[in-house]
A = this chain, B = another copy of it.
Amino acid sequence: MSKKITVGVVGAGRIGKLHVSNLKKMDNVRLKTVSDLFADQLEDWFRESGAERLTKNYKELIHDPELDAVFICSSTDTHAEIIKEAAGAGKHIFCEKPVSFSDQETLEVYEAVKSAGVKFQLGFNRRYDRNFRKVKQWVEKKVIGDLHVLKITSRDPNPPSLDYVSRSGGIFMDMTIHDFDMARFISGTEVEEVFVHGAALVNPKLAEWGDVDTAVITLKFANGAMGVIDNSRRAVYGYDQRLEAFGSKGAVHVNNETESKVECWSEEGIKSDNLLHFFLERYNEAFDREVKEFIRAIENDSDIQTTFKDGIMAQRIAEAATASLKSGKPVKVRGLDE
């Protein structure tokens, strides 16, 4: 086996810890350092983590000459700064979405990454789900002929705290951004225009931040196809993740994953199994696979599949959606060269 890839992880929140546990299982990875602002409270977790060092200071990690790559899992407002530093230090970068809340800042970071020539992968984990990958392949192979309508249903089991929401950049930047990326991924084309109808139906207080928790979003694709996404912050029956690609020769559907294949038939009818609860369960395999792909790209010096551009475009659709919600009108999505 070739030399191991040495990595560090910035931010040991829910996602950071998940990446650590996946990195730990990989034979070709040396998991060296984890940094977190609240490192003191992470001692117990650290002992079982498989990492060699724990620090409060992410800079220590970024400037460590042994490190090949950095995972950036801290809060969104810190991404831009850390990416620039890491790129400057010549580290390959895996970053959670979104890069930033500002298009201007994102573009600056993009330039920094490009000129540093390091690899950069964005954490659009759903692209690595076996179901969506199969649909992507089938759509590419024209199994459904030409794509006419792409439908995505994406509903969370529970709304986040109001505190979280107030810092999230709004539902489109925080939650729908995954669906926007999925729309681009499956369709293989760009979104040109967005129209949103949204409301705060789960928690009316969200309206105070100008945010919504329920939305229907119409997409106009560059190749003439159309799309629709429907979101809710609370589906009481669990994490609802479905997709339908309809075309001239048929349709492909992704149904929900369930906890088991057990059905109960009783006087009250036929009851199927519950949906997998939330993203950690539903996309468990996908989280593992995206990390493997990133490490493999470094090992083989091959192309990253989920690029910085994917991040920029998903952000721009989210911005257009936010503008459409405010204006009540369809809004064009800016292309990358504008």
Chain A interface (Cβ within 8 Å of chain B)? 1, 25, 27, 48, 130-131, 134-135, 138, 143-144, 146, 148-149, 151, 155, 195, 197-199, 201-202, 214-216, 218, 220, 224-228, 230, 232, 234-237, 246, 248-257, 259-275, 328-330
A329: nearest residue on chain B (CB-CB)? B329
Complex CA gap A130/B237 in Å reads 20
With contacts A197-B195, A214-B149, A230-B149 taken as known, whether A271 is within 8 angstroms of B273 at the C-beta atoms is no
Q: Do the beta carbons of A264 and B236 come within 8 Å of each other? A: no
The 3 A-B pairs with the shortest beta carbon distances in the complex, nearest first, are A250-B266, A237-B265, A270-B272
Q: Do the beta carbons of B226 and A146 come within 8 Å of each other? A: no
Q: How far is the CB of A263 from chain B (nearest CB, A)?
A: 4
A216 / chain B contacts, CB cutoff of 8 Å = 149, 218, 226-228
With contacts A148-B214, A328-B330 taken as known, whether A254 is within 8 angstroms of B265 at the C-beta atoms is no
Q: Do the beta carbons of B148 and A201 come within 8 Å of each other? A: yes
Q: How far is the CB of A8 from chain B (nearest CB, A)?
A: 21
A252 / chain B contacts, CB cutoff of 8 Å = 262-265
Q: Do the beta carbons of B226 and A228 come within 8 Å of each other? A: no
Within 8 Å by CB of A218, from B218, B250, B275, lies: B218
A329 / chain B contacts, CB cutoff of 8 Å = 329-330
A199: nearest residue on chain B (CB-CB)? B224
Q: Do the beta carbons of A218 and B195 come within 8 Å of each other? A: yes
A218 / chain B contacts, CB cutoff of 8 Å = 195, 197, 216, 218, 228
A251: nearest residue on chain B (CB-CB)? B265
Which of A130, A230, A256, A273 gathers most chain B CB within 10 Å?
A230
Q: How far is the CB of A172 from chain B (nearest CB, A)?
A: 15
Q: How far is the CB of A104 from chain B (nearest CB, A)?
A: 29
Complex CA gap A226/B248 in Å reads 28
Q: Do the beta carbons of B232 and A246 come within 8 Å of each other? A: yes
Complex CA gap A143/B266 in Å reads 9
A267: nearest residue on chain B (CB-CB)? B236
Within 8 Å by CB of A228, from B25, B144, B228, B250, lies: B228
Known A131-B260, A134-B260, A235-B246; further 7 A-B contacts with Cβ < 8 A: A143-B264, A195-B330, A201-B225, A228-B228, A236-B266, A237-B251, A252-B262
Q: Do the beta carbons of A262 and B254 come within 8 Å of each other? A: yes
Complex CA gap A328/B269 in Å reads 36
Complex CA gap A27/B50 in Å reads 10
Q: Do the beta carbons of B269 and A237 come within 8 Å of each other? A: yes
A27 / chain B contacts, CB cutoff of 8 Å = 48
A213: nearest residue on chain B (CB-CB)? B148
A135 / chain B contacts, CB cutoff of 8 Å = 262
With contacts A134-B260, A195-B330, A272-B270 taken as known, whether A236 is within 8 angstroms of B254 at the C-beta atoms is no
Q: Do the beta carbons of A236 and B263 come within 8 Å of each other? A: no
Complex CA gap A128/B149 in Å reads 29
Within 8 Å by CB of A250, from B226, B261, B267, lies: B267
Q: How far is the CB of A60 from chain B (nearest CB, A)?
A: 26
Complex CA gap A256/B262 in Å reads 9
